[in-house]
């Protein structure tokens, strides 16, 4: 298995990469959206580092999951805090671990129920093997090759760390 960097090490570079990408794409006032729970922690840190002016938004994708009929209702669902107007906004969607792509599919569906954004850029701290949908991140902290039986999870928010089981 690859060596896993500490989240804090990855975050410095991630913030620089996001800034560069926003410059390249001429996006000056993006709306940063973190996916509960790990993605919201990462988004909080990036939001502060980049000193973004639009308030940080969070998304709980429980109501949009594709496995509701298999695993049932998430008993700890939290309200999403997306502003009612996402119309024509440039969204930076942040998650901790990108694996199957299903969470991002659900998150994009939820965002579109609030309005039609101008663009969505996906940032993930870790991109691990196991994709089941054609979804790629624009910026990644670290790529990891993990076996199907291996799991990686972000613990936090203070301190942030990876748990591999």
Residues in contact with another protein by CB under 8 A are: 60, 62-64, 68-73, 75, 77-81, 84, 109-110, 112-115
Cα separation of 90 and 81, whole Å? 16
In angstroms, what is the minimal distance from the CB of 124 to another protein? 24
In angstroms, what is the minimal distance from the CB of 58 to another protein? 11
In angstroms, what is the minimal distance from the CB of 120 to another protein? 16
The residue whose two tokens read 């089941």 is 132
Nearer to another protein, 14 or 57 (CB): 57
Nearer to another protein, 61 or 123 (CB): 61
Nearer to another protein, 62 or 150 (CB): 62
In angstroms, what is the minimal distance from the CB of 77 to another protein? 5
């Amino acid at each position: 298995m690859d060596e896993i960097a500490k989240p804090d090490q990855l975050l410095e570079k991630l913030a620089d990469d996001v800034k560069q990408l926003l410059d390249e794409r001429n996006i000056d006032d993006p709306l940063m959206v973190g996916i509960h729970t790990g993605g919201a922690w990462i988004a909080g840190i990036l939001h502060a580092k980049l000193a973004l002016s639009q308030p940080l938004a969070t998304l709980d994708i429980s109501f949009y999951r594709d496995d509701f009929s298999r695993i049932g209702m998430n008993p700890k669902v939290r309200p999403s805090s997306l502003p009612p107007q996402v119309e024509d906004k440039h969204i930076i969607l942040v998650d901790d671990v990108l694996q199957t792509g299903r969470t991002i599919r659900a998150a994009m569906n939820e965002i579109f129920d609030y309005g039609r954004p101008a663009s969505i850029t996906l940032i993930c701290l870790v991109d691990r093997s196991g994709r089941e949908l054609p979804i790629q991140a624009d910026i990644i902290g670290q790529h990891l090759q993990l076996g199907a039986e291996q799991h990686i999870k972000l613990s936090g928010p203070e301190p942030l760390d990876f748990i591999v089981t």
